[in-house]
Chain A
Amino acid sequence: MRLSDLPKGAAAVVDRVDDAQANDPIAQRLRDLGFVAGEPVRLVAQGPLGADPLLIQIGSTRFALRRSEAARVAVRLKEQEAA
């Protein structure tokens, strides 16, 4: 599943970030910002038009990502909501 496919409010765990092209600077920046395997993320809000951009919470940080950026991140849905 892709981060861009998460339903609103859903929590998930990052699997990996895929490069959209060779040496993708956006993918590299996402990794630097903490989108790495095992990191919990949550979809907090969506933009008013076309549900874009997405507001993703990772750790204590909220990042606004466009759908195309979020689509680089592969995630697993969290089965059980941990507190």
Chain B
Amino acid sequence: MSAGTLRIALVGNPNCGKTALFNQLTGGRQKVANYAGVTIERKEGRFTAPSGRVLQLLDLPGTYSFDVTSPDERITRDVLEGNYPGEAAPDLIVCVADATNLRLHLRFVLEVKRLGRPVVLALNMMDTARRRGITIDVPELQRRLGLPVVETVAVKRGGVRALIAQVDGEMPTAAPAQPDDAASRAGLHAQVRELMAATVVMPRATAQVDDALDRWALHPVFGLAILAVVMFLVFQAVYSVGKPITDAIGDGFDWLGAQAAALLPAGPLQSLVTDGLFGGLGTVLGFLPEILVLFLFILVLEESGYLPRAAFLLDRVMLSVGLTGRSFIPLLSSFACAIPGIMGTRSIQDPRDRLATILVAPLMTCSARLPVYALLIGAFIPARHVLGAFNLQGLVLFALYAAGILGAMAVGWVIKRIRRDRSEHALLMELPSYRLPHPRDVAIGLWERGSIFLKRLTGVILSLTVLMWFISTFPSPPAGASGPAIEYSIAGYLGRGLQYIFGPLGFNWQISLALIPAFAARETAVAALATVYAVGGEGGDLGQALTAHVSLASALSLLVWFAFAPQCMSTLAVIRRETNSWRNVAISFGYMFAVAYVASLLTYQIARWLT
């Protein structure tokens, strides 16, 4: 590390806009959302100040106090005190405070000041403060605090100019360090009150809109009804908006495949391009619209400030199944992908609640399951309307999401029964102000999600699909063989071997085989099935091939399998990293496999008996 680089750390209470500032300064794209505990790791970036100096910037998890209660808060304290492994204390601390809530945030500013290091105070969200008629006497605040104070608007271009000028200029002198003991801490509140009385005028303690919205959103009856409607709309929209686009993309790829087939000489190469690439990858790519619709809703919900309200409404229910309201947000992000969901549990203080949340998070229906669900539902469930307005396919999709949630509740309940430690769990959660999402930020978020999906598609899914094509094509059948060629390939033998395990669940050898690459990425199951059926001579649409060869009972059983089975290596790896224990990985894998096997078995046998 060059000695000349100034190292700056951004700290402050949760949700005050540190990451938004970080992104604005460095041009970074770290996650910003409207609830406490978004940032859970230390993130590094750099930017060049107008003077030409390169400044290194650290974004840190928000914390209410140095008396830490959760793993993410500990990171912040350790970095600031210079105890973080491999890192010296920062040269300059930029303490960020929400200008609309200084009563709470100034206390932490005073705590940071006592570290005895150079500190700059950034009063962020000045746009909202002004709109609400809050006036702050900045020169007076600066004089009383003895620190430079600048105003910022982290979400506007040019909103951080004053801060850049400040950190690029002369280094502020540090206040003398003070010991951190209980008695002196208690005095901080009195100091905040004095500061507030002398420098801040607030017409109202809270925003009028928040009060009005919360009257409905937190109402014991309407609140729950609104929550149910919001959740239901998300899943209906995923299906009804996404599906038509998916079909159009699928048709497009079929056409492209046909064109390519006409150009290439018949043989293995033609088969690889049409069956593997256009058939396999094209099918997976077709589900991008569903995934984007889902993410659109998640991004809007995250920025709106509604999620902590939902957590508030559901806390009691979640407590009764061994979780906590705080589990809600990590579990909701697991609908996108379990990996950020599991990492997000770092903001849960109670280690037992955290572990329970980690263990059930993979049961939430992640977006990688969506292609599989959409494929099977599209092929086997008639597109009818029931009860007038509801799309039957959408309802089945909703039921699968519900199965994941109910499964998680059941597992949470069992964990709660088993564990011996029954001491108290804390909630202590802040509800933020409501905010209108910026269309630009949502668009950027969607773009990022889309590119991650495409990277997965052209990386792991592509290689596995080519591999699947290879093992389904070679070796060629011996001379004089009577059955279909694919039965003599490696894939044929492997698939039939797997039937000993999966046969009772109603899976034919093609499906059993496709479950293997799904372990690396669930969506690959779709590409693998498409490849295997295409090589086996079933041209055209994968959905049609499936309806011709697979019974409804098997399809339902497969859906249930995907809802519960431990199918994602990366998730298991993250569980290992976050809990630092192979035992938890084994528990997680073991229970999910058992649940999936039993549930699929029951589904298949019952459905076969009924149909």
- Verify that A and B bind, or say they do not: yes
A residues sitting closer than 8 Å to B (CB atoms) are 20, 25-26, 28-34, 36, 39, 44-50, 52-53, 55, 57, 59-66, 68-69
- Give residues of chain B (44-79) contacting chain A, Cβ–Cβ below 8 Å: 64-65, 67, 69
Asked if B69 and A29 make an inter-chain contact with CB atoms under 8 angstroms apart, the answer reads yes
Asked if B224 and A34 make an inter-chain contact with CB atoms under 8 angstroms apart, the answer reads no
Contact A66 to B65, CB < 8 A, known contacts A26-B426, A36-B186, A36-B189? no
Asked if B325 and A53 make an inter-chain contact with CB atoms under 8 angstroms apart, the answer reads yes
Q: How many Å lie between the Cα of A57 and that of B189 in the bound state?
A: 17
Q: How many Å lie between the Cα of A52 and that of B425 in the bound state?
A: 14
B431 contacts A by Cβ under 8 Å: yes
6 pairs, CB–CB < 8 Å, chain A vs chain B: A32-B65, A32-B185, A44-B218, A47-B220, A64-B308, A64-B429
Interface centre among A31, A47, A60, A61 (most CB of B within 10 A): A60
B103 contacts A by Cβ under 8 Å: yes
Partner of B104, one of A33, A45, A47, A53: A33
Asked if A63 and B431 make an inter-chain contact with CB atoms under 8 angstroms apart, the answer reads yes
Asked if B427 and A66 make an inter-chain contact with CB atoms under 8 angstroms apart, the answer reads yes
B206 contacts A by Cβ under 8 Å: yes
Asked if A59 and B104 make an inter-chain contact with CB atoms under 8 angstroms apart, the answer reads yes
Closest 3 A/B residue pairs (Cβ):
A59-B103, A48-B220, A32-B65
Asked if A68 and B104 make an inter-chain contact with CB atoms under 8 angstroms apart, the answer reads no
B212 contacts A by Cβ under 8 Å: no
Asked if A32 and B67 make an inter-chain contact with CB atoms under 8 angstroms apart, the answer reads yes
Taking the nearest CB of chain A, how far is it from the CB of B29, in angstroms?
29
Asked if B104 and A52 make an inter-chain contact with CB atoms under 8 angstroms apart, the answer reads no
Asked if A31 and B186 make an inter-chain contact with CB atoms under 8 angstroms apart, the answer reads yes
Q: Which residue of B lies closest to A35 (CB)?
A: B189
**Contact residues in A for B219 (Cβ distance below 8 Å):** 45
**Contact residues in B for A55 (Cβ distance below 8 Å):** 214, 218, 312, 431
**Contact residues in A for B429 (Cβ distance below 8 Å):** 63-64
Contact A60 to B315, CB < 8 A, known contacts A28-B67, A29-B67, A66-B427? no
B101 contacts A by Cβ under 8 Å: yes
Asked if B224 and A20 make an inter-chain contact with CB atoms under 8 angstroms apart, the answer reads no
Asked if B103 and A47 make an inter-chain contact with CB atoms under 8 angstroms apart, the answer reads no
Interface centre among A25, A32, A65 (most CB of B within 10 A): A32
Asked if A69 and B426 make an inter-chain contact with CB atoms under 8 angstroms apart, the answer reads yes
Asked if A61 and B426 make an inter-chain contact with CB atoms under 8 angstroms apart, the answer reads no
**Contact residues in B for A30 (Cβ distance below 8 Å):** 428
**Contact residues in A for B427 (Cβ distance below 8 Å):** 53, 64-66, 69
Given A48-B313, A53-B312, 16 more A-B residue pairs with CB atoms under 8 Å apart are: A28-B67, A29-B65, A29-B426, A29-B428, A34-B103, A36-B186, A36-B189, A48-B224, A49-B316, A52-B315, A57-B206, A59-B103, A59-B205, A63-B431, A66-B319, A69-B427
B181 contacts A by Cβ under 8 Å: no
Q: Which residue of B lies closest to A66 (CB)?
A: B427
Q: How many Å lie between the Cα of A48 and that of B218 in the bound state?
A: 8
Interface centre among A29, A50, A57, A61 (most CB of B within 10 A): A61
Interface centre among A50, A52, A62, A65 (most CB of B within 10 A): A62
Taking the nearest CB of chain B, how far is it from the CB of A56, in angstroms?
10
Asked if B426 and A62 make an inter-chain contact with CB atoms under 8 angstroms apart, the answer reads no
**Contact residues in A for B185 (Cβ distance below 8 Å):** 31-32
Contact A26 to B424, CB < 8 A, known contacts A60-B202, A60-B205? yes
Asked if B430 and A60 make an inter-chain contact with CB atoms under 8 angstroms apart, the answer reads no
Q: How many Å lie between the Cα of A53 and that of B220 in the bound state?
A: 11
Contact A63 to B103, CB < 8 A, known contacts A50-B316, A52-B316, A53-B316? no
Q: How many Å lie between the Cα of A53 and that of B427 in the bound state?
A: 8
Q: Mark B71-102, 1 if CB is under 8 A from A, else 0.
A: 00000000000000000000000000000110
Asked if A60 and B100 make an inter-chain contact with CB atoms under 8 angstroms apart, the answer reads yes
Q: How many Å lie between the Cα of A20 and that of B423 in the bound state?
A: 12
Contact A44 to B107, CB < 8 A, known contacts A29-B64, A59-B205, A60-B205? no
Q: How many Å lie between the Cα of A47 and that of B220 in the bound state?
A: 6
**Contact residues in A for B210 (Cβ distance below 8 Å):** 62
B223 contacts A by Cβ under 8 Å: yes
Taking the nearest CB of chain A, how far is it from the CB of B364, in angstroms?
22
Asked if B69 and A25 make an inter-chain contact with CB atoms under 8 angstroms apart, the answer reads yes
B221 contacts A by Cβ under 8 Å: yes
- Give residues of chain B (186-236) contacting chain A, Cβ–Cβ below 8 Å: 186, 189, 202, 205-206, 210, 214, 218-221, 223-224
Contact A57 to B214, CB < 8 A, known contacts A29-B67, A34-B104, A47-B315? no
Contact A48 to B186, CB < 8 A, known contacts A57-B206, A61-B430? no
Interface centre among B104, B202, B220, B427 (most CB of A within 10 A): B427
Taking the nearest CB of chain A, how far is it from the CB of B398, in angstroms?
22
B317 contacts A by Cβ under 8 Å: yes
Q: How many Å lie between the Cα of A75 and that of B69 in the bound state?
A: 25
Q: How many Å lie between the Cα of A50 and that of B314 in the bound state?
A: 12
**Contact residues in A for B426 (Cβ distance below 8 Å):** 25-26, 29, 66, 69
Asked if B69 and A57 make an inter-chain contact with CB atoms under 8 angstroms apart, the answer reads no
**Contact residues in B for A57 (Cβ distance below 8 Å):** 205-206
**Contact residues in A for B312 (Cβ distance below 8 Å):** 45, 47, 53, 55, 64
Q: Which residue of B lies closest to A42 (CB)?
A: B205
Q: Which residue of B lies closest to A61 (CB)?
A: B104
Partner of B428, one of A36, A46, A48, A63: A63
Partner of A61, one of B65, B101, B224: B101
- Give residues of chain B (324-371) contacting chain A, Cβ–Cβ below 8 Å: 325
Taking the nearest CB of chain A, how far is it from the CB of B90, in angstroms?
23
Asked if A48 and B431 make an inter-chain contact with CB atoms under 8 angstroms apart, the answer reads no
Taking the nearest CB of chain B, how far is it from the CB of A42, in angstroms?
9
